[in-house]
A = this chain, B = another copy of it.
Amino acid sequence: MGQQSGGAAIRVGVIGAGVMGADHARNLHGAVVGATVTALADQNRPVAEKVAAEIDAPRVFDDGLDLIRSDDVDAIVIASHDSTHASFALAALELGKPVLCEKPLAPTVDEARRVVQAEADTGHPLIGVGFMRRFDPSYVDLKQAVTSGDLGDILVAHCVSRTVESYPGGDSASTVTNSAIHELDIVPWLLDSPITQVSWHAGRSSRNSGTRQDPQLLLLRTESEVLVTVEVFLNARYGYDTRCEVVGEVGTAALTLPQRIVVDRERARGVAYPADWIPRYADAYRLELQEWVDALRAGRTSMLATAADGLRASVVAEAVLESMRSGGVTVDVPN
């Protein structure tokens, strides 16, 4: 839990005022203790100005680099286009300013590696990566079930990640690097063991998905020899749905569909699915930001995914893409 009176608020600058950036800015302003949004940046300046007005943020920039250099900014949230993540992160590291970078840390492994190296050169863990599922109360409970020992050693796990519809412009590869990437981070976190082997599988594809293979099936193996199936289906239509079951020697545990009320109507008993990730992970985003700010104020390392975690997820994603390009062969993930 945060520290409100114990020191000045962290002055945060948010780069990117799209859906994710605006959501972070609003959370920092209205739901996270100990931070104040002092600046917003967006290539499309009016978008940034609109959000800034809404939350009384005093400064607006066109260029994220100007925001990073601003004396009014202590810490930076990077929520701009994926292709810009690495260069903004490197600029912040140069000034020794802490960063919360939306996933992915970088679109390519090489760039991610460069960021990890640059952070190492500073000697400080300045970068947190926005794998927010680590702060989702359901995943936290699931991890607690795993570590409690109540299930025995974990042997197998099954993940499902379905969304209502894919964003325009993506392809089969971006399903892995943008969507499945969440599983590539959360599975090792949950099982406390890195992914060492992957394969990619495809069958019939939805007619709603154009040329993108959808759904896709990944088969992962952790260093601890746990087999993990991952179904990613972006145009599942029926709802936004994250599932995960871990199967141990004496029991299993699984995420439930978050549900507050149940409704009986028209011959059915039903529970509503969220339409997208915003309602599903609202608590996770808030708690992630609060932990980030609390750690900054306390001068301690946060519990966010590290730059190394972000790099590792990208390395695993690259191995999945190699399997995809090679007709589904099993690929060892390089160290």
The size bracket of the interface on A is 35 or more
Taking A31-B1, A270-B268, A271-B269 as contacts, is the C-beta distance between A203 and B56 under 8 angstroms?
A: no
Contact with B along A202-218 (1 / 0, CB 8 A): 11111110000001010
Contact with B along A237-274 (1 / 0, CB 8 A): 11101000001011111111111111111111111110
Q: Is the CB of B254 within 8 A of A261?
A: yes
Residue from B26, B221, B241 in contact with A264 in the complex, judged by beta carbons closer than 8 Å: B241
User: Complex: how many Å from CA A254 to CA B237?
Assistant: 17
Q: Is the CB of B267 within 8 A of A273?
A: yes
Interchain nearest-CB distance for A87 vs B (Å): 28
Chain B minimum-CB-distance residue to A27 = B1
- Residue A132 lies at the interface, judged by CB distance under 8 Å to chain B: no
Residues of B contacting A295 in the complex (Cβ-Cβ under 8 angstroms): none
Q: Is the CB of A141 within 8 A of B258?
A: no
Residue from B28, B250, B263 in contact with A253 in the complex, judged by beta carbons closer than 8 Å: B263
Contact with B along A16-42 (1 / 0, CB 8 A): 000000000010111111011110000
User: Complex: how many Å from CA A4 to CA B145?
Assistant: 36
Q: Is the CB of B33 within 8 A of A31?
A: yes
Interchain nearest-CB distance for A29 vs B (Å): 5
Q: Is the CB of A155 within 8 A of B215?
A: yes
Chain B minimum-CB-distance residue to A294 = B30
Residues of B contacting A30 in the complex (Cβ-Cβ under 8 angstroms): 1-4, 33, 294
Residue from B1, B137, B269 in contact with A270 in the complex, judged by beta carbons closer than 8 Å: B269
Q: Is the CB of B264 within 8 A of A252?
A: yes
Residue from B1, B215, B249 in contact with A206 in the complex, judged by beta carbons closer than 8 Å: B249
Q: Is the CB of B257 within 8 A of A258?
A: no
Residues of B contacting A258 in the complex (Cβ-Cβ under 8 angstroms): 260
- Residue A9 lies at the interface, judged by CB distance under 8 Å to chain B: yes
- Residue A65 lies at the interface, judged by CB distance under 8 Å to chain B: no
Residue from B3, B137, B260, B275 in contact with A255 in the complex, judged by beta carbons closer than 8 Å: B260
Interchain nearest-CB distance for A264 vs B (Å): 4
CB under 8 Å from chain B, chain A span 155-207: 155-156, 158, 160, 201-207
Residues of B contacting A271 in the complex (Cβ-Cβ under 8 angstroms): 256, 268-270
Known: A203-B226, A238-B250. 15 other contacts (CB 8 A): A3-B55, A5-B57, A138-B261, A153-B204, A156-B204, A203-B225, A203-B227, A235-B249, A237-B249, A237-B251, A238-B266, A252-B263, A256-B259, A258-B260, A259-B259
